[in-house]
Amino acid sequence: MSKKRWLSGPSIRPDPITAGMTAADLVDTAYLAYNGGRLREACELYTQKMLADDALVGMSLTGALTPAGIGMTCLIPLVEAGFVDWIVSTGANLYHDTHFGIGLEMHRGRPHLDDTVLREAGVVRIYDILFDYEVLLKTDAFFRRIMTASEFQKEMGTAEFHWLCGKYVAEREVALGRRGTSVLAAAYRMGVPVYTSSPGDSSIGMNVAELELRGNKLRIDPARDVNETAAIVWDAKSGGGKSGVLILGGGSPKNFVLQTEPQIQEVLGLEEAGHDYYLQITDARPDTGGLSGATPGEAVSWGKVDPEKLPDAVVCYADTTIALPLLTAYALDRHPPREPRRLFDRRADMYDRLVAAYRETAGSREPGEIVDAG
């Protein structure tokens, strides 16, 4: 192979950092190699390809991001700019996000504190974030109060559930003069569907369970979520568009955004190739076998990522609280706002299209027949 081919990349001879340099210019100038280089590639992939007019962006959220203020600094600006089209989050992120929207506070502290003393004082700690135990009780009371409303008395998926919750949080934001503090409220206003892959695994789910003991009729349907998220991806891809995933951390939400493609291909038997764009920020290693550290190459073997699109896959090994603010600043500086897709409003239509495609395919095979993915 030609030596010239391997040495065709730009020369590493950057200009010095100067006073007043924007975050986007800093990334382009100084983030040239190692995980700095991967962060620059992530910024370029996001702004140059994933935010194209024909591409949808699904985001997954894990880790205690909203307590750290990431919701207000990054997630809400991305949602309001039309840079995120659908979300899968841990319930914990949405629960803690609600604190801010209903007028409660969290505080910066220190990580090396005596937790026994904090417990006696009625203070809860998330590493170096501190808040009053009453914040939990008041947030629980808020959710239990709204979930007794008539519109909650039925079975629904988590997108509808979170949309209804977001409506009430948005009303509280306005009443308190705190608009712009809650991701749930911003997603409600922008029509961005928000799912959670483990509805019972958070304080929100715990309060749903408590109300069930009282006879409340709210039921969460996980199967609806599986098919609804697959419908979002199917609608984009079957219509000639592209699908990208922005994965913050890993865990169950990572799998949930990615499993849309195996659901389409492996389970429903529809012809598809995988997500087109893969961008992950994680601190998890791949060699432990956990999904959080699994690479996009491994995802290809499951049908989650289109093998022809692996050049458009970036993994940045970094703390999300460090990398995401830079990615957000870069995107807002380098790309104009997009018209919101308002996928929440289109859920029923996309779902019906997926069902129609599945029934057409299912009608050509016997129940239990193995579908040849090859």
Catalytic residues: 304
Phi, psi of 51 (to 5 degrees): -95, 15
Query: Can you tell me the distance from the alpha carbon of 33 to that of 46, in angstroms, rounded to the nearest whole number?
Result: 18
Amino acid identity for residue 286 in this structure: P
Tokens of 87: 């979300």
Query: Can you tell me the distance from the alpha carbon of 365 to that of 62, in angstroms, rounded to the nearest whole number?
Result: 39
Query: Can you tell me the distance from the alpha carbon of 178 to that of 83, in angstroms, rounded to the nearest whole number?
Result: 22
- SS3 for 221-252, per residue? CHHHHHHHHHHHHHHHHHCCCEEEEEEECCHH
Phi, psi of 144 (to 5 degrees): -65, -35
Least Cα distance to 35 among 334, 335, 327 occurs for: 327
Tell me 197's DSSP state: S
Query: Can you tell me the distance from the alpha carbon of 239 to that of 352, in angstroms, rounded to the nearest whole number?
Result: 14
Instruction: Tally Cβ neighbours within 10 Å of residue 13.
Output: 6
Altogether, the residues listed in the chain come to a count of: 374
Please answer whether residues 286 and 293 qualify as being in contact, where contact means their C-beta atoms are separated by less than 8 angstroms.
yes
E strands along the chain, which residues?
Answer: 55-61, 86-89, 107-108, 123-126, 129-132, 155-156, 194-195, 219-220, 242-248, 277-282, 313-317
Least Cα distance to 316 among 90, 31, 79, 57 occurs for: 31
> How does DSSP assign 21-49, residue by residue?
--HHHHHHHH--SHHHHHHHHHHHHIIII
